[in-house]
């Protein structure tokens, strides 16, 4: 059943407080695709899990939603290519009805002109980075804009071929964005005011679609990201460069967040036949341990789980030994797929090819397919990611968003 939203429900003037089962940012609340508090059913019926509701948003996009305290927050784009506007919607997670909607500013209006940023939630606030480099903070209860910064204007950055496509990282009162300016490739903003805390004065590379993360390397927290020409590790408090490693494919497109693959190792992959590599980090020294061009994850995401690397690439889903790069096994039924890993070795994958969704029972040595179905609602490419909160899976395709009962 397709439910079209026509009526706005008045917003409640109550604070939104995140709980243990919430999904508060891109790649899950820990930004690692490991959803430890969610148990899902051991198998699905032949036609897939029960669909609870489905809606068509006015604005379309590729970005996944987040779920906090029974509310969904999701971005979308409206208008023609010359005047695209970014919208954020607050929905009731129970039935998909709109609580509030807000225009947050101009949006990317050239090729692939759809919203690409997932909001980040923290302490009653929502944070967005637009395809034009606009950084916006909103009140989660009311949708009112609290502050905004044009990062390209502020830091001399320039946009890239398909528009900025990063998801905000927040830690220690700082929001990280990557405007790609001269001496300001990466910057930290105060989450309360939008004021500049630091700039990476040693870096002047353009942004490269990568969303950064905080990784622990040899016991030390580091801000790790991929820019136009390098993978870099930065001091989180100051933006000082700790190390850098040359990594550039033919388009300088690096949409995958680097992930830890051991106490001193980082896995990176960015598609376009460049392949994947594992780096060993020792202070400021970087050593490539291995590279494999067949493991070529474009933008579907990577996870490190039970001592293995799980990643898409080369039209299959891989479980890799991080020490050697050798495949422990591959899932040929999942070709170019985003995914998340839940309790009890359960995985949900969502494939770009045909919109197939798989339920896998998968550990560090083997896998078994426990159910599948296809997404037929919505429009355009299957480029979003599965989100699971409170036993419900939310999947977005273009303007379409639906909820499925998957709880164990």
Please write the tens of the pLDDT for every residue from 264-293: 999 999 999 999 999 999 999 999 999 999
**pLDDT band at residue 19, thresholds of 50, 70 and 90?**
low
8 A C-beta contact, residue 126 and residue 85 = no
Query: pLDDT above 90 covers what percent of the chain?
Result: 94
Helix (H) or strand (E) holding 224: strand 220-226
- How much is the pTM? 0.95
d(CA 94, CA 74): 15
pLDDT in tens, 42-98: 999 999 999 999 999 999 999 999 999 999 999 999 999 889 999 999 999 999 999
The conformational region for residue 227 under phi > 0 = left, psi -120 to 50 = alpha, else beta, is beta
DSSP string, 114-136: SB----EEETTEEEEE-TTSEEE
**pLDDT band at residue 8, thresholds of 50, 70 and 90?**
very low
**pLDDT band at residue 16, thresholds of 50, 70 and 90?**
confident
pLDDT on residue 308? 98
The values of phi and psi at residue 33, to 5°, are 70, 5
pLDDT on residue 18? 67
Question: 250-287 b/e with 16+ CB inside 10 Å = b?
Answer: eebbbbbbbbbbbebbbbbbbbeebbbbbbebeeeebe
The values of phi and psi at residue 202, to 5°, are -85, -5
| pLDDT reading at 10 higher than 90 | no
Say whether domain 3-405 belongs to CATH 2.130.10.10.
Answer: yes
391 by Cβ neighbours in 10 Å (0-12 / 13-18 / 19+) ranks as: middle
d(CA 129, CA 153): 14
Token look-up 């929502």 returns 126
**pLDDT band at residue 227, thresholds of 50, 70 and 90?**
very high
Average pLDDT over residues 27-53: 97
pLDDT in tens, 335-362: 999 999 999 999 999 999 999 999 999 9
Domain ranges of the chain: 3-405
pLDDT on residue 20? 67
**pLDDT band at residue 7, thresholds of 50, 70 and 90?**
very low
């Amino acid at each position: 059943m397709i439910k079209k939203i026509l009526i706005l429900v008045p917003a409640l003037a109550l604070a939104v407080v995140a709980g243990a089962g919430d999904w508060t940012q891109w790649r899950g609340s820990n930004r690692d695709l490991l959803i430890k508090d969610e148990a899902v059913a051991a198998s699905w019926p032949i036609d897939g899990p029960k669909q609870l509701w489905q809606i068509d948003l006015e604005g379309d996009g590729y970005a996944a939603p987040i779920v906090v305290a029974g509310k969904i927050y999701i971005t979308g784009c409206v208008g023609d290519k010359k005047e695209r506007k970014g919208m954020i919607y607050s929905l009731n997670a129970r039935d998909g009805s709109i609580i509030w909607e807000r225009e947050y500013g101009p949006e990317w209006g050239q090729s692939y002109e759809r919203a690409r940023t997932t909001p980040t939630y923290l302490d009653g606030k929502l944070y967005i980075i637009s395809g034009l480099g606009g950084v916006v903070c909103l009140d989660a209860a009311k949708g009112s804009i609290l502050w905004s910064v044009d990062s390209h204007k502020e830091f001399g950055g320039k946009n890239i071929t398909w528009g900025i496509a990063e998801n905000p990282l927040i830690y220690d009162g700082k929001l990280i964005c990557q405007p790609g300016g001269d001496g300001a490739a990466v910057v930290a903003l105060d989450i309360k005011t939008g004021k500049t805390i630091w700039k990476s004065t040693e870096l002047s590379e353009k942004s490269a679609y990568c969303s950064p993360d905080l990784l622990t390397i040899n016991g030390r927290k580091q801000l790790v990201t991929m820019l136009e020409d390098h993978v870099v590790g930065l001091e989180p408090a100051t933006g000082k460069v700790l190390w850098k490693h040359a990594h550039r494919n033919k388009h300088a497109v690096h949409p995958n967040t680097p992930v830890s693959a051991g106490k001193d190792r980082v896995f990176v992959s960015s598609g376009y036949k460049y392949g994947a590599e594992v780096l060993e980090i020792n202070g400021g020294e970087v050593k490539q341990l291995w590279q494999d061009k067949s493991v070529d994850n474009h933008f579907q995401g990577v996870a490190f789980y039970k001592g293995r690397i799980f990643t898409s690439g080369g039209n299959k889903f891989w479980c890799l030994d991080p020490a050697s790069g050798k495949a422990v096994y591959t899932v040929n039924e999942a070709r170019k797929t985003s995914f998340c890993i839940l309790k009890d070795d359960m995985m949900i994958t969502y494939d770009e090819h045909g919109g197939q969704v798989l339920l896998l029972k998968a550990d560090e040595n083997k896998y078994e397919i426990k159910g599948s179905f296809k997404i037929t609602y919505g429009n355009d490419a299957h480029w979003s990611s599965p989100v699971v909160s409170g036993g419900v899976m939310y999947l977005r395709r273009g303007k379409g968003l639906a909820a499925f009962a998957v709880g164990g």
